[in-house]
Amino acid sequence: MSKLFAGFGQAVITPDRPFPMAGFDLRKDVATGIHDPLYVRAVWLQTGGQDERFSTGSLADGTSVLFLELDLLGTSDYFCREIEAAVKEEFPEIGEISVGAIHTHAAPQSVFQTLACYDRGYSDWVIRRILEAVSAAQEDIHPVKAAFQETRAQAVGSYRDVSRDESWFSMPVRTIWLDRLEEKSATAESRGPIALTLFACHPTVLNEKNLQISRDLVWGWDEAIRALAVQKGKPVPQVLFMNSACADISTRYTRKEASFREALRMGCLLAEQTDTAPEELEWAEEAVLSHHSFEVTIPAAKSFDEDQKKQVLVYLEQKIETCGDEAQKREYTSCRSVLQRPGYGKNLPLDAKITLIGLDLFVPEDNGSKYKKVIRKDTYVYICLPFEYPQKDAVRFAGEVQMKTGRIALIRCYAGGYEGYLPSGRPLDQDSGYEDMASHYRADAKEILEERIKDELQNLQ
């Protein structure tokens, strides 16, 4: 184990011209304005090596991981590889680069190279902005203490693949806090701790009628965190928001309307329910950081044939016509949109990159003795997936990981690519949910993925 260092940086990636917006099949118009900026946020995490600004040694001596999160719907595997190559060329000392997206449905879709709206110029500009954020994170590197926090937020997310009466969900919010051990300058006094915050909800308060660029729910949450810190006279946290397993979770049954006012109201709910005092946490000043990446082949699904598709579309039209709950009706309209997509059913196997990032924190415990110090080791693993993964399955799988390895599994989705939904495992039929109809993969895809991850965890040293 060794000392832990961290740095935070960010840069704006808001486009300077109208682009088609990602996330909703029913939305055809381009963005007409900008409600709030989009960012790339970077957290450079380092153990082992010493930052020469604080003590002796070279920064390149230790183990380092870079977390990148973009305020986009997703990032294709192609775009992720471009980002990783550019960052590696500029910062070769970084051991592992994990690129993710918050999954806002109010961002441009022009970073997906397979789409007609792909814009090479915008993608290249985003990469340049990413390099600026990473440079800022490197410049910010400082010794930190770390603590894990898990809270629950009510009345924000809901299960969206069931009826309203069955949809209640207590949303887990898991954060690794990284707080400064010493200041580098007077200007650092106002900088709050870094927070790697993992949440499990489609951040979609806004719907397909919105034509304003925005981070949506994450914008409301970020604004509320800032306001709450100022109100309490505390430094404002530097938060890198990461989306977790939320294929079956959204604000479908909890939002009162699809508006920015509602995104802010729900953001306030999140900030108030996840706020904490530093003295309530158990801090570690020493850690072990590790990482391991591998590829796994996910077999392709057999979708409805043309005759089956026509029959299911007729069935969905009847459901849409007779459903009295507007929120529940969205499930049927979303399924219909999937079947009407150009190229529906042209599924191919996928070689998916999976990244595991281990973090062991060594927490001193008070055993009542001033001579012998007791150290408790808390172990975590970020499992970074390029998929939309159901929360129900994530709870089960995290338990299996902890039973096998002793590590608390922090499942990060939309990371290393954006490869769509993993299926539920149930046979595909007219009553299948949106996630199954939209999935490109065979019914046993989750089982294949999970078994491989459990095998590969032994390589995380």
- Same domain, residue pair 184 and 278: yes
Quote the CA–CA distance of 126 and 302 in Å, as a whole number: 36
- Whether 332 is covered by a domain: the verdict is yes
Write the pLDDT tens digit of every residue in 378-434. Answer: 999 999 999 999 999 999 999 999 999 999 999 999 999 999 999 988 999 999 988
- Same domain, residue pair 50 and 162: yes
Write the pLDDT tens digit of every residue in 309-350. Answer: 999 999 999 999 999 888 888 889 999 999 999 889 899 999
Write the pLDDT tens digit of every residue in 164-217. Answer: 889 999 999 999 999 998 654 444 445 899 999 999 999 999 999 999 999 999
Write the pLDDT tens digit of every residue in 49-72. Answer: 554 444 434 454 579 999 999 999
Could you tell me the pTM of the whole model? 0.93
- Whether 129 is covered by a domain: the verdict is yes
- Same domain, residue pair 276 and 312: no
Last residue within a domain, chosen from 221, 254, 288 = 288
- Same domain, residue pair 272 and 335: no
CA 21 to chain centre: 19
- Same domain, residue pair 225 and 133: yes
- Whether 74 is covered by a domain: the verdict is yes
- Whether 385 is covered by a domain: the verdict is no
Residue 461 pLDDT more than 90?
no
177 vs 28 pLDDT, higher one = 177
- Whether 317 is covered by a domain: the verdict is yes
- Same domain, residue pair 17 and 59: yes
- Whether 147 is covered by a domain: the verdict is yes
- Same domain, residue pair 133 and 80: yes
What local confidence, expressed as pLDDT, does residue 188 receive? 40
- Same domain, residue pair 183 and 262: yes
Q: Which domain holds residue 320?
A: 306-339
What local confidence, expressed as pLDDT, does residue 429 receive? 94
What's the structural domain count of the chain? 2
- Whether 353 is covered by a domain: the verdict is no
Write the pLDDT tens digit of every residue in 340-376. Answer: 998 898 999 999 999 999 999 999 876 555 555 678 8
What local confidence, expressed as pLDDT, does residue 113 receive? 87
- Same domain, residue pair 253 and 317: no
What local confidence, expressed as pLDDT, does residue 61 receive? 57
- Whether 65 is covered by a domain: the verdict is yes
Write the pLDDT tens digit of every residue in 206-254. Answer: 999 999 999 999 999 999 999 999 999 999 999 999 999 999 999 999 9
- Same domain, residue pair 193 and 237: yes
- Same domain, residue pair 168 and 273: yes
Mean pLDDT of the chain: 91
Last residue within a domain, chosen from 228, 255, 288 = 288
% of the chain surpassing 90 pLDDT: 79
What local confidence, expressed as pLDDT, does residue 26 receive? 86
- Same domain, residue pair 257 and 317: no
